[in-house]
Amino acid sequence: MTTALITGIGGQDGTYLSELLVDLGWAVHGVERPGSTHVTDTQITRHIIDLGEPDAAISLIEATDPDYVFHLAGISSVWRSWNEPVLTTRVNGVSAASLLDACFTHQEASGKRVMVINASSAEIFAGSGERRQDEHTRIAPTSPYGASKALSHTMVQVYRARGLEATNAILFNHESPRRPDTFVTRKITKAAVAIARGTQSTLELGSLTVERDWGWAPDYVAAMLAMARHGTGDDFVVATGQAHSVANFVEAAMSAVGIADWRSYVRGDPDMFRPADSASMIGDASKAHDVLGWKPTKTFSEIVSAMVEFDMTEEMAA
């Protein structure tokens, strides 16, 4: 039986990926932080481990003996990284280095190939000055989050050069109803529903002009599985190639609940403006299309509508 280890299994991508792999008949092991209670699926073997601790990754890889390791764990908020830069570096960068070294050591000792898929990020390109980014774009992070992801990204390349089949999935923004409401997209969709129902009067946001390439999270999880099945370590951008502003997201969410004059409900909050925020991030996923046969399945409006529909159901159930 194929065995997969997923770090960050309780997050948005981790839950979608674990469900996908269980459906495929794989044995799935999931890593959660101490104190986490997210994963309840009895088909998944849980491991409560802090990968930043010395030797924790080595013990984990020896115990699970995985064919595939999907490293999705990490602090995923750029805003939070500015408040906790040291913790972000430890969680996102050091844990990736520990896991890669453990996989390489296990592969060398056992003779069994271990395939590693690392969740890299578009934020490693934030200061590149290029409007569209691909696998050859200059790495130039502008935040502690981006720098921590750049560390994990380059460590993957270092261990790939040593003989580990390690791949960077350079993920651009991807959303779903499972995105925590600490993220601006979910904050917007929940607010749209609440405003439409009269339980909220305004929506406070930072910059409305920032543009992002927003995709559908299950599509991006499917891309990571395709990378694993590809079997050769490489770097792949995963993106839609289309940019939409925060204002576009608000407009789409408000339209989905029947509100046309959305601007009358939005208020600016200077505290929400992030230092050195890149104005536009758009990915070129041509390589993933050509090599992996991957393409996104949902349009921007369909993604926003799916999130709004979920939040409407949640509001009714509350």
Residue 79: predicted pLDDT: 78
Is residue 121 part of the annotated active site? The answer reads: yes
278, pLDDT greater than 70: no
Out of 38-52, 78-92, 178-192, 249-263, pick the least confident. 38-52
**Which class in CATH covers the domain with range 3-174+215-238?**
alpha beta
What single-letter amino acid sits at 63? A
Name the residue with tokens 């904050």: 187
Is residue 175 part of the annotated active site? The answer reads no
The one catalytic residue among 145, 148, 175, 251? 145
Give the domain ranges of the chain: 3-174+215-238, 179-212+242-276+298-317
The single-letter DSSP state of residue 219 is H
The 10 Å Cβ neighbour count of residue 169 is 27
How buried is residue 290: exposed, middle or buried, by Cβ count under 10 Å (0-12/13-18/19+)? exposed
Average pLDDT of the chain is 92
Residue 183 CB contacts under 8 Å (≥ 6 apart), including other chains:
77, 175
pLDDT class of 280 with cuts at 50, 70, 90: confident
CATH of domain 179-212+242-276+298-317: 3.90.25.10
Token pair for 131: 């409007």
d(CA 47, CA 25): 20
Asked about 211 being catalytic, the answer comes back as no
Q: What is the mean pLDDT of residues 27-52?
A: 80
**pLDDT class of 126 with cuts at 50, 70, 90:** very high
Question: Given this model, what pLDDT does residue 277 score?
Answer: 60
Catalytic residue (choose from 76, 81, 95, 121):
121
Task: Supply the pLDDT for residue 154.
Answer: 98
Q: Which of 48-62, 106-120, 125-139, 261-275 has the lowest mean pLDDT?
A: 261-275
pTM assigned to the model:
0.94
Q: Distance of CA 255 to CAs 198, 200, 216, 250, 301, Å?
A: 16, 16, 19, 8, 10
3-174+215-238 matches 179-212+242-276+298-317 in fold: no
For range 239-267, the mean pLDDT = 96
Question: In this predicted structure, which of 63-72, 85-94, 225-234 has the lowest mean pLDDT?
Answer: 85-94
Among 32, 68, 123, 278, the active-site one is 123
Q: How far apart are the C-alpha atoms of 84 and 145, rounded to whole Å? A: 9
User: Percent of the chain at pLDDT above 90?
Assistant: 81
